Amino acid sequence: MKKLFNTCLVACLSSSPFLANAEGLERVNIDPSFMFTEGSTAEIGFGNVSPSLPAVKGTGSAFTFQSGLDVATSFSVLTGSIKTEMGDNFDLGLFYTTQGNGVGLDYGTITGLEGNITIKADLEMPTLAAIGKYQINDAMSVFVGAKQTTVKSGATLKLGMDSNANLNPDVTSHWELSKKSGIGAIYGAAYEMPEIALRVVLTVEDDIDLNIAATAKGGLADTGTATASIGDAISLNFQTGIAEDTLLFGNIRRSSWADNQVKVPVLVAGLTQVSSFSDGDSYSLGIGRKINDDLSVSISGFYDGSSGGAISELAPTGSTKTLSVGGKYAIADNADLSIGGSYSQRGDALTGSYKASLTDSKVTVSYTHLTLPTKRIV
């Protein structure tokens, strides 16, 4: 069973980084599983995320939307991790992703009673984490580290509001955000029973407050300081052998975003909240199967039922149901290739300010992952 524990793990989790993205600005979450591989390893992954979020005029809306509007934009993701043994009981790891948090939306031109309004958001926030893990005994370990989230230069928010933060036509008004980084803690503990491939990992991520220089570009925006706090989260990852060459795995995650909103400076109204994120819970469960010494496969389901009431224009998705498949193949003695994909169906949603109605929303993801251990994981 211990051999299954090692050879099946990456296949089972190959597409999981892109599942839990329904809350706030979340795109790719930190998965601490790379800290539990044997030996010193390097991993790199590339993914493509293709959302489709059709939007039309919703009930109670005073605005008209363009015909055939799809507000979402596709994006690519690069992830990488390195884990090094520093002694018999201590490991050091680094994790990086180009898309830890972010938003890419374009509502085009919205027509209101007094003219046209433009809503567009382009915000990418890479994440870097450094983690140290200490093995207390054969079963227990603890880890602690720090994660850094950075707002990339060139981020823009165009939200169509007047000097009192009312939703009035102001097409040219937008903000350009300067590069800014913030740091928060990440820590947790794990319990393992290798003889039955059991592992339970509890991870806590602190929130990060970002005060970002915002430069007004036209209209009635104001140059000043914008805020884009990253919510705290707690997650429980688990896996266990349930039969020879078969692994059950899953995740439970709680993300707190209700107190972590995006705010921008407006001439008269001052610092104005432009998001309406809510807290949320997500769940995933799957099965991995070792086919032979070289090939492992997996299938998993994910559910996020966090949506409730009117939602933010910056995160216009309802509850999420996702099906993922993954496979891992040993391409050489010291290299394993994993390929995964997922399809998500999003529930109907109505945005809070402009009353955009979103139905038949979906997201497809493809993901490739390469593991290069310094010694073979067996």
Strand partners, 183: 148
Alpha helices in the chain (DSSP H): 2-7, 9-13
User: Which residues of the chain have a pLDDT value below 70?
Assistant: 1-22, 113-115, 160-173, 218-222, 267-269, 306-310, 373-378
CB-count exposure of residue 77 (10 Å: 0-12, 13-18, 19+): buried
Length of the chain: 378
> What is the Cα–Cα distance from 16 to 32, expressed in whole angstroms?
12
CA distances from 101 to 27, 98, 115, 125, 151 (A): 5, 9, 33, 5, 9
Instruction: Identify the CATH assignment for 2-373 out of 3.90.1010.10, 2.40.110.20, 2.40.50.140, 2.40.160.60.
Output: 2.40.160.60
Q: Which of 330, 343, 234, 248 is nearest to 13 (CA)?
A: 248
- CB within 8 Å of 87: residues ≥ 6 apart: none
CA distances from 233 to 179, 200, 294, 344 (A): 24, 17, 35, 22
By three-state DSSP, how is residue 362 classified?
A: strand
Asked if 253 and 235 touch (Cβ cutoff 8 Å), the reply is: yes
For the chain, counts of helices (H) and of strands (E): 2, 23
Q: What is the pLDDT of residue 348?
A: 86
Relative to beta strand 349-350, strand 356-358 is antiparallel
CB-count exposure of residue 138 (10 Å: 0-12, 13-18, 19+): exposed
Backbone angles phi, psi at 134, to 5 degrees: -115, 125
Q: What is the pLDDT of residue 60?
A: 84
CB-count exposure of residue 358 (10 Å: 0-12, 13-18, 19+): buried
Q: What is the pLDDT of residue 324?
A: 93
Asked if 56 and 338 touch (Cβ cutoff 8 Å), the reply is: no
Residue 25 sits at the vertex; the CA angle it makes with 24 and 31, to the nearest 5 degrees, is 100
DSSP per-residue string spanning 270-282: EEEE------EEE
- For residue 301, the surrounding DSSP H or E stretch is strand 295-304
By three-state DSSP, how is residue 287 classified?
A: strand
CB-count exposure of residue 224 (10 Å: 0-12, 13-18, 19+): middle
